[in-house]
Chain A
Amino acid sequence: MLEPETSSSPATEFPPVEPTNFDMIIVGTGLQESIIAAAASTAGKSVLHLDPNPFYGSHFSSLSPSDLSSFLRSSPPYCSPSLLSDEYDAIPLSARPLYSDVEISPEELENCRRFCLDVSGPRVLFCADSAIELMLKSGVSHYLEFKSVDASLIYEAESGNLSSVPDSRAAIFKDRSLGLTEKTQLMKFFKLVQEHLEEENEGLISEEDMESPFVEFLTKMRLPKKIKSIILYSIALADYDQENAETGEDLLKTKDGINRLALYHSSIGRFNAQSAMLYPMYGQGELPQAFCRRAAVKGCIYVLRMPVAALLAEKGTGLYKGVKLKSGQDLLSSQLVIDPRFVVPPSLALSRRGASQESSQDPIPAAVKGKVARGICITRLSLKSDASNLLIVFPPRSLCPEQATSVRVLQLSGNVAVCPPGMFVTHLSTLCHDASQGKRLLTAAIDALFRDTMPGNSETSCSENPEDTSASESDNMKVHSSALLWTALYIQEITEGSVQTISSGPSPDGNLSYNDLIDVTKKMFQQLYPGQEFFPEKASSEDPEDKNSDGGCRGDNSSEKNSDGGDGGSGSGSGNGNGNSVGVYPEYL
């Protein structure tokens, strides 16, 4: 028989959600929540995934300028104070602001809908990183298309120039800014690392060196300052000044530095990409959507535009039982996972069935770990005439003496469809202790990138006593500031996650990659469902039980398509411009 009439169209009221009891309810469709939804659904759990917003992605969404503005400034969702339930105690779910100090100018922008701005940018994927592995393993790579980030540049304080990062042997060979001695030193160092990583040479770099700060190791290898800076900040992507670290925690150990170098090198050339880094077409917001689709294919139920009005607790015991939707419906679940912006009343957060001692005490919200300052610019000119998608790193102290953190910049073009052709979206971020410090750094970086080439307009500084940053009139590095059409600056809190009956993932971190987030999410899943595999290999689209799904076919077809060097038809939407897309498919050979 046919299902009772529960169908609906975009404009009508929601039907009630059925069933009313789930293994897990998830509120918020950020990347971690979406991965948990897909993993739990794949493991056979019944999952309901809600989001109060009309779009997917939450803190990992890609939004138009006006939607971004309202998302960053949105006040905590409204909670009705008089929510009564006969069976349960209704406890309001409050929210805290994750974003502050939002500055956007101008408020209005033409063709606003044609831009996709990442809420937690800049972020890229490394071709060999754990995020890519997860997408391959879970099958979501079928839903995504990527393009290469085709250049990596580093800002040199002395010259005020951006120079190419010699990140591979080929790049070193071609580099024009390094002298022959520097080239040899860098080549030798890459070779040493490579040899160290080959199994038979384990121990080539001593255990003592591996545990010591990476910067000391680089010094010991007699690498010059310029090369050290390139390795530390553009390849190992260190967040803090490694030469004058404020605390030991900010120092990268040699083993971590080597691992990051290895990841970078194994990423170069994978999937025939032009560089180590990839960016998803249409923005990072496609990633959570791909995981949500995977979850939906595995049975997860999706309801957008549906806020949770209250949590339901058992009368007497105060144990979590479920949620009350804004529509008034009560839904029950054994587990609840919530967006990091929500605050759980302490009375509820302490009851995990069979909880181990150590995991049961973290409150939600968990501790705030710090802040990240983010900025987004829309421009009409590329920062480099021969590259459209590019990464730029301003190493610590390169903008001003007070700069203790790296500032990372990602310019994206129309070829990843985040803006109309001929326009560019530039994301910036840096870690910071306080808002004004973070914003000063971003402003200094924006000034350095987009400064007028007019003489006498170079009094840029991020400190109170401006440094002389009189930059050379380098040709295509500086964009006339009149090309800067729109700017947003904001501060985001970095919070940790917590796993109990009610769990919450961490808020987006300040990293350039998704790797730490993926690792945390995997751990979260394993704590939520001990013994369950996080996306078993069989769960890929080749799943023979999945008779309805022909998803696997696409991998074959498309990799063929890709090796033809073609761009196929799937990305033929508006504004894709040129450039081959990078298909991320399992390697069969």
Chain B
Amino acid sequence: MSTRRRTLLKVIVLGDSGVGKTSLMNQYVHKKFSQQYKATIGADFVTKELQIDDKLVTLQIWDTAGQERFQSLGVAFYRGADCCVLVYDVNVMKSFDSLDNWHDEFLKQANPPDPKAFPFILLGNKIDIDGGNSRVVSEKKARDWCASRGNIPYFETSAKENIRVDDAFLCIAKAALANEREQDM
């Protein structure tokens, strides 16, 4: 066991400004949520150790550091990603409409060897707001989008209430690990 090397997996989180990317990462790693929103400053990447099956995995989750605000994420951000997490706000239609662009931008910039097989995951965040009454994107609509994009796994989350955040990131880690194994072969 000790001779086996630790696997480092790079995960990047994409989506419009204000959908809760940083909050999801903070909830997952630090079990903390801050009510106060500010455009991301100070968020770089977080790491979390996980055991998946018999394998010790270090998940390295990269924040956009605010560079997504003016579509100015450089190609370096996308390099070597093992999984791409897309996030939208179920209460903001525009953030859902942008998913196509983020998805395509990722494939264009990261240029993975097999774009069709590259693991994406979609998170519909902020399901807690107003008890779900202010929701404008239905779960069905989101699931249809995922199906149309090659059956992307989908989670409805709340970073604030810590709803399904751990489940989502475990799924992300597994997908990233599977992708890495495939590339090793």
CB pair B37–A3 under 8 Å, yes or no, is yes
Report the Cα distance A2→B22, complex, angstroms.
Answer: 14
B interface footprint on A554-576 (CB within 8 Å = 1, 0 otherwise): 10011011001010111111100
Contacts A8-B16, A548-B42 given: A297-B65 contact, CB under 8 Å? Answer: yes
Return the chain B residue nearest A282 by Cβ.
B79
Contacts A296-B66, A554-B45 given: A7-B76 contact, CB under 8 Å? Answer: no
For B65, the chain A residues whose CB sits under 8 A away are: 293, 296-297
Does chain B have a CB within 8 A of A113? yes
Does chain B have a CB within 8 A of A529? no
Please list the 8 inter-chain residue pairs (A to B) with the smallest Cβ-Cβ separation, ordered nearest first.
Answer: A9-B98, A7-B16, A289-B76, A296-B65, A7-B17, A302-B72, A566-B5, A10-B101
Q: How far is the CB of A59 from chain B (nearest CB, A)?
A: 16
Report the Cα distance A571→B67, complex, angstroms.
Answer: 22
User: Within residues 70 to 120 of chain B, which ones have a CB less than 8 A from any CB in chain A?
Assistant: 70-72, 74-77, 79-82, 92, 94-95, 97-98, 101-102, 104-105, 110-113
Does chain A have a CB within 8 A of B39? yes
CB pair B82–A7 under 8 Å, yes or no, is no
Interface 9-mer from B7-15, B146-154, B164-172? B7-15
CB pair B101–A560 under 8 Å, yes or no, is no
CB pair A297–B41 under 8 Å, yes or no, is yes
For A571, the chain B residues whose CB sits under 8 A away are: 79-80
Contacts A573-B112, A574-B111 given: A549-B44 contact, CB under 8 Å? Answer: yes
- Please tell me which one of the listed residues B6, B44, B70, B97 contacts residue A301 in the complex, with CB atoms under 8 A apart: B70
CB pair A306–B70 under 8 Å, yes or no, is yes
CB pair B79–A573 under 8 Å, yes or no, is yes
Q: How far is the CB of B21 from chain A (nearest CB, A)?
A: 11
CB pair A304–B180 under 8 Å, yes or no, is no
Does chain B have a CB within 8 A of A298? yes
Does chain A have a CB within 8 A of B29? yes
Contacts A554-B45, A557-B6 given: A7-B18 contact, CB under 8 Å? Answer: yes
Q: How far is the CB of B51 from chain A (nearest CB, A)?
A: 15
A interface footprint on B25-45 (CB within 8 Å = 1, 0 otherwise): 010011000000111011111
Interface centre among B17, B60, B76, B113, by most A CB within 10 Å? Answer: B76
Contacts A8-B16, A541-B44, A550-B47 given: A569-B10 contact, CB under 8 Å? Answer: yes
Does chain B have a CB within 8 A of A14? yes
Q: How far is the CB of A53 from chain B (nearest CB, A)?
A: 11
For B58, the chain A residues whose CB sits under 8 A away are: 557
Report the Cα distance A560→B47, complex, angstroms.
Answer: 15
CB pair B112–A304 under 8 Å, yes or no, is no
Report the Cα distance A306→B72, complex, angstroms.
Answer: 10
User: Within residues 8 to 22 of chain A, which ones have a CB less than 8 A from any CB in chain B?
Assistant: 8-12, 14-15, 17
- Please tell me which one of the listed residues B6, B10, B112 contacts residue A561 in the complex, with CB atoms under 8 A apart: B6
CB pair B102–A553 under 8 Å, yes or no, is no
Does chain A have a CB within 8 A of B133? no
Q: How far is the CB of B72 from chain A (nearest CB, A)?
A: 4
Does chain A have a CB within 8 A of B69? yes
For A547, the chain B residues whose CB sits under 8 A away are: 30, 42
- Please tell me which one of the listed residues A11, A293, A560 contacts residue B76 in the complex, with CB atoms under 8 A apart: A293
Report the Cα distance A285→B5, complex, angstroms.
Answer: 30
Return the chain A residue nearest B5 by Cβ.
A566
How many chain B residues touch A (Cβ–Cβ < 8 Å)? 57
Report the Cα distance A281→B17, complex, angstroms.
Answer: 29
Contacts A1-B37, A5-B92, A290-B76 given: A11-B22 contact, CB under 8 Å? Answer: no
Does chain B have a CB within 8 A of A303? yes
Q: List 27 A-B contacts (CB under 8 A).
A: A5-B92, A6-B17, A7-B18, A7-B98, A8-B16, A11-B101, A55-B75, A113-B111, A114-B111, A282-B75, A282-B76, A282-B79, A292-B74, A297-B42, A302-B66, A302-B69, A302-B70, A303-B72, A546-B42, A547-B30, A549-B43, A550-B29, A551-B45, A561-B8, A564-B6, A570-B10, A572-B184
CB pair B70–A303 under 8 Å, yes or no, is yes
Interface centre among B22, B60, B111, by most A CB within 10 Å? Answer: B60
Report the Cα distance A56→B180, complex, angstroms.
Answer: 28
Report the Cα distance A547→B43, complex, angstroms.
Answer: 9
Does chain B have a CB within 8 A of A71? no
Does chain B have a CB within 8 A of A190? no
CB pair A561–B97 under 8 Å, yes or no, is no
Q: How far is the CB of A525 from chain B (nearest CB, A)?
A: 21
Contacts A302-B70, A564-B5, A571-B80 given: A10-B39 contact, CB under 8 Å? Answer: no
Report the Cα distance A289→B58, complex, angstroms.
Answer: 24
Contacts A7-B16, A9-B102, A293-B77 given: A572-B82 contact, CB under 8 Å? Answer: yes
- Please tell me which one of the listed residues A302, A546, A549, A558 contacts residue B67 in the complex, with CB atoms under 8 A apart: A302
CB pair B94–A7 under 8 Å, yes or no, is yes
For B10, the chain A residues whose CB sits under 8 A away are: 569-570
For B17, the chain A residues whose CB sits under 8 A away are: 3, 6-8
